[in-house]
Amino acid sequence: MTIEYDLTIEDMVALTQYHSERSPRENRRRRVVQGVIALVFLLLLFSAVDSIRKQGADLSASWIAVSSVPMICPTILLVLVFSTGVRRWSTNRSVHKAFPDVEPGGTIASQKLTVSADEIHVQADAGEMALAWDEVADISKTDERIFVFGASEQALVIPRRAFADQAAYDAFYDELQSYRVRSSN
């Protein structure tokens, strides 16, 4: 089966978010950053509490507030690093920076995707990629797109608009899943 479609900026944003959520390398990097920021936060919290404890009971509210000021920055960083909304915003921003001349809804590339019993083959303006079924780690579907994630962290997006109707879209997804199941047996 072969389908052809245009890849839009919104498809790239969705693909980048999907890849970010499923990539073991990205998840490790995110956990390291989160751990470092949490450690800095805890050290600053300990330092602020220790400073207040050493000063005794006759501290003014303003002195305690000033002693807590160093906690503001790591607290903001904790919120930013652990927030999925901020991650999504950052991903969206990075895709739009990578394609600055592409307007919303604009085409980034045209793709030709061929599915066979052996592999998924994608031919695009910039090159080609083949993904054997035993390398497929995940296939996911939303109302708008099908995502394929490879074991070596390649990812593909197939938009719903590449199909004549919802039934064709669902049948294509089912076909992908059946090829994947057959390759794992």
Q: Name the pTM for this structure.
A: 0.67
Using CA atoms, how far apart are residues 181 and 173, in angstroms rounded to an integer? 12
pLDDT one-digit tens code per residue, 29-79: 777 877 887 787 788 777 777 776 776 666 677 777 776 777 777 777 777
pLDDT one-digit tens code per residue, 125-149: 788 888 888 888 889 899 999 999 8
The reported pLDDT for the residue numbered 107 is 85
Reported confidence tier of residue 173, pLDDT bands at 50, 70, 90: very high
pLDDT one-digit tens code per residue, 3-27: 999 888 898 888 888 877 776 777 7
Q: For the stretch 82-119, what's the b/e string if a residue is b when 16 or more beta carbons lie within 10 angstroms of its beta carbon?
A: eeeeebeeebbeebeeeeeeeeeeeebeebebebeeeb
How many residues comprise the chain?
185
The reported pLDDT for the residue numbered 165 is 93
CA atoms within 13 A on the CB side of 176: 26
Higher pLDDT, 41 or 162: 162
- Cα–Cα distances in Å, from 22 out to 5, 8, 25, 86, 168? 24, 21, 9, 17, 26
